[in-house]
């Protein structure tokens, strides 16, 4: 069947159910952004014209909100706990619904079992042994574990249909069970032996994974103009809804307060948290739409290092603020920071919000060394002088997210060995420097690493084409391959396709890197990808 765009979200809102604060938060968000999604659906509809879109049967099982996973998130929704994951799931549900797919949604193991039982009843076929009644399954690491328990071996058989929503991403070396175990990449999460592109992240962290994202506020021209007229040049909002995020930040707050009125949205029960200085105007945790109003007036949104990589800086910039954040030197990673420890990635994080730094940058984002109080001081002064317009990268608009999810759903196929998407026309073969990853090598040439293209460059012809001097060409299981050592004139190809990795690097090796072009503002897609 052909999928038809939907602009009415009432069926979706009924499907999400209720009771828990996390679900109420998601429903409020879905309702609030409904007009924005409707406009986006119409625009994307016009852009795609008469193109056929398959309607898919999709199961969505949100594992981290189930009681069985411990659900630590729901009780903290109104108390300053993380909301980023709920923002993203609300937007994923909306995007799939708006694109016109057939959704079954489960937020508890009981619902999951109910859905599976209904399938048995309606079709007379058992999901444990028969064909999978879904084209796609969106879940997370908790959900994956639960589905393994309840579907047993059949999950393995249907693995290629799964998509795992994974905020910070999973690199191939951590995902391959045997390799991870043998080489010290074993963590709490990885080792599912999926194709690494089946993990979908919140920001485009490593191109080894697919970038799912979420959306932010969009403003029309009238709103943009009125925001610019009503900006209060000396008003700052601090990023951090939990008091602990303010701990030890007094000296920066003092400097900031020399120039600006400082606002906060820190959760508190009865008394002002001691971490928040008396001169700060604390509004308490605000509902999302009230936070947006506050950001519309403010000139500066300032981060103190935590939380990492959340949605709020994008919302601030979309509402015309400049985001000031600390540089991390040395970078934070799973090797040296508690928060990242045990996460299946060795990505190094060079600032609180690398996406804001690398993809948005000045004048909207200023990343400075907070240990240097002069630098900090002059950044604040510069921000007060600088005029910016509200800005939102296309990939974080509703239309951008719909376009990307549409492209994935219609084209990404992990069930066939040689999928034709992304098209080969987008491939640009490059060689990395020694010690450089393919993420960096492609980036420095204005491209992005495309793991789907490794299979085209993992051969002798590619080495010959590059005029690499190889005395031997062998094939091994190692996540930095294909690569060669100049010194030793050794060339190695990759024997395990699951270990094709953009992220890997090694000091002695130059890597063969399959890069591709990308659309401006939509890094997930190449020029011929749509």
307 near ligand U2F, rule: CB under 6 A:
yes
345 near ligand U2F, rule: CB under 6 A:
no
Listed in sequence order, the residues at least 6 apart from 177 whose beta carbon sits closer than 8 Å to its beta carbon are: 191, 192, 193
310 near ligand U2F, rule: CB under 6 A:
yes
Give the 3-state secondary structure percentages of the chain, helix then strand then coil, rounded to 5.
Answer: 40, 15, 45
84 near ligand U2F, rule: CB under 6 A:
yes
The two structure tokens encoding residue 105: 């949604």
Residues 48, 97: Cα–Cα separation, whole Å: 17
Q: Hey, how many other C-beta atoms are within 10 angstroms of the C-beta on 474?
A: 11
Backbone angles phi, psi at 35, to 5 degrees: -60, -40
**Binding residue for ligand U2F (CB under 6 A) from 17, 43, 45, 82?**
82
Residue from 355, 350, 364, 288 nearest 320 by CA? 364
Q: Between 201 and 230, how does the x/- string for binding to ligand U2F read (CB under 6 A)?
A: -x----------------------------
Counting beta carbons within 10 angstroms of the beta carbon of residue 387, is it exposed (0 to 12), middle (13 to 18) or buried (19 or more)? exposed
Please, what is the minimum distance in Å from the beta carbon of residue 31 to ligand U2F?
14
Q: Between 266 and 285, how does the x/- string for binding to ligand U2F read (CB under 6 A)?
A: -------------------x
**Binding residue for ligand U2F (CB under 6 A) from 63, 207, 311, 400?**
311
32 near ligand U2F, rule: CB under 6 A:
no
127 near ligand U2F, rule: CB under 6 A:
no
Contact 483, 512 (CB under 8 A): yes
Please, what is the minimum distance in Å from the beta carbon of residue 482 to ligand U2F?
33
Please, what is the minimum distance in Å from the beta carbon of residue 430 to ligand U2F?
32
343 near ligand U2F, rule: CB under 6 A:
no
363 near ligand U2F, rule: CB under 6 A:
no
Closer Cβ to ligand U2F, 286 or 473, answer by number:
286
Pick the piece of the chain touching ligand U2F (CB under 6 A) from 43-51, 171-179, 286-294, 404-412: 286-294
Give the E-state strand segments of 333-378 in sequence order.
Answer: 349-351, 365-368
Residues 159, 106: Cα–Cα separation, whole Å: 19
Q: Hey, how many other C-beta atoms are within 10 angstroms of the C-beta on 403?
A: 26
Contact 299, 227 (CB under 8 A): no
Pick the piece of the chain touching ligand U2F (CB under 6 A) from 11-19, 106-114, 271-279, 309-317: 309-317
Q: Between 163 and 202, how does the x/- string for binding to ligand U2F read (CB under 6 A)?
A: ----x----------------------------------x
Closer Cβ to ligand U2F, 15 or 288, answer by number:
288
DSSP secondary structure string, 239-253? S-SSGGGGTT-HHHH
Q: Which residue is nearest to ligand U2F (CB)?
A: 84
Q: Which helix (H) or strand (E) holds 359?
A: none
Residue 368's SS3 state is strand
**Torsion angle of the four alpha carbons 79, 285, 234, 362, in this order, in degrees rounded to the nearest 10:** 60
288 near ligand U2F, rule: CB under 6 A:
yes
Q: Which helix (H) or strand (E) holds 163?
A: strand 162-165
312 near ligand U2F, rule: CB under 6 A:
yes
315 near ligand U2F, rule: CB under 6 A:
yes
Pick the piece of the chain touching ligand U2F (CB under 6 A) from 177-185, 306-314, 451-459, 467-475: 306-314
How many residues touch ligand U2F under the rule CB under 6 A: the total is 20
419 near ligand U2F, rule: CB under 6 A:
no
504 near ligand U2F, rule: CB under 6 A:
no
Counting beta carbons within 10 angstroms of the beta carbon of residue 148, is it exposed (0 to 12), middle (13 to 18) or buried (19 or more)? middle
**Binding residue for ligand U2F (CB under 6 A) from 33, 62, 87, 132?**
87
Please, what is the minimum distance in Å from the beta carbon of residue 474 to ligand U2F?
41
Residue from 519, 499, 510 nearest 178 by CA? 499
Backbone angles phi, psi at 15, to 5 degrees: -65, -25
83 near ligand U2F, rule: CB under 6 A:
yes
85 near ligand U2F, rule: CB under 6 A:
yes
Binding interface with ligand U2F (CB under 6 A): 82-85, 87, 167, 202, 241, 265, 285-286, 288, 291, 307-312, 315
């Amino acid at each position: 069947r052909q999928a038809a765009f939907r602009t009415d979200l009432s069926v979706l809102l009924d499907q999400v159910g209720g009771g828990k604060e996390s679900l109420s938060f998601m429903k409020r968000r879905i309702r609030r952004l409904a007009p924005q999604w409707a406009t986006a659906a119409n625009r994307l509809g016009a852009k795609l014209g008469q193109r056929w879109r398959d309607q898919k049967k999709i199961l969505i099982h949100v594992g981290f909100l189930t009681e069985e996973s411990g659900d630590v998130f729901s009780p903290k929704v109104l108390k300053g706990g993380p909301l980023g994951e709920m923002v993203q799931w609300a937007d994923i549900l909306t995007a799939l619904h708006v694109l016109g797919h057939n959704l079954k949604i489960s937020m508890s193991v009981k619902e999951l079992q109910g859905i599976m039982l209904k399938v048995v009843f309606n079709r007379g076929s058992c999901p444990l042994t028969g064909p999978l009644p879904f084209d796609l399954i969106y879940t997370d690491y908790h959900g994956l574990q639960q589905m393994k328990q309840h579907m047993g071996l059949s999950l393995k058989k249907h693995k290629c249909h799964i998509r795992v929503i994974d905020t910070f991403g999973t690199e191939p070396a951590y995902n391959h069970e045997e390799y991870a175990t043998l080489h010290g990449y074993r963590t709490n999460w990885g080792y599912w032996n999926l194709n690494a592109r089946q993990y979908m992240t919140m920001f485009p962290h490593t191109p080894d994974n697919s970038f799912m994202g979420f959306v932010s506020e969009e403003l029309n021209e009238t709103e943009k103009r009125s925001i610019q007229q009503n900006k209060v040049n000396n008003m700052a909002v601090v990023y951090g809804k939990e008091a602990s995020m303010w701990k030890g930040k007094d000296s920066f707050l003092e400097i900031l307060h020399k120039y600006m009125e400082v606002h906060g949205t820190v959760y508190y029960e009865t008394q002002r948290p001691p971490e928040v200085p008396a001169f700060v105007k604390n509004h308490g945790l605000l509902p999302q739409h009230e936070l947006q109003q506050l950001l519309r007036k403010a000139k500066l949104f300032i981060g103190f290092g935590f939380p990492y990589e959340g949605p709020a800086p994008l919302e601030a910039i979309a509402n015309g603020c400049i985001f000031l954040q600390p540089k991390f030197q040395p970078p934070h990673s799973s090797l040296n920071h508690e928060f990242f420890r045990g996460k299946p990635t060795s990505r190094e994080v060079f600032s609180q919000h690398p996406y804001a730094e690398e993809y948005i940058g000045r004048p909207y984002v200023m990343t400075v060394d907070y240990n240097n109080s002069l630098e900090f001081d002059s950044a604040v002064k510069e921000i007060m002088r600088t005029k910016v317009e509200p800005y939102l990268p296309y990939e974080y608009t509703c239309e951008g997210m719909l376009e990307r999810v549409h492209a994935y759903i219609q084209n990404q196929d992990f069930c066939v060995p040689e999928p034709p998407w992304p098209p080969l026309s987008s491939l640009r073969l490059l060689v990395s420097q020694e010690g450089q990853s393919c993420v960096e090598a492609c980036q420095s040439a204005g491209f992005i690493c495309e793991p789907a293209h490794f299979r085209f460059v993992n051969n002798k012809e590619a080495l010959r084409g590059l005029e690499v001097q190889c005395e031997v060409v062998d094939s091994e299981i190692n996540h930095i391959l294909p690569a060669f050592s100049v010194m030793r004139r050794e060339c190695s190809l990759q024997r395990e396709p699951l270990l094709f990795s953009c992220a890997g690097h090694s000091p002695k090796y130059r890597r063969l890197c399959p890069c591709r072009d990308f659309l401006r503002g939509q890094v997930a897609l190449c020029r011929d990808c749509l």
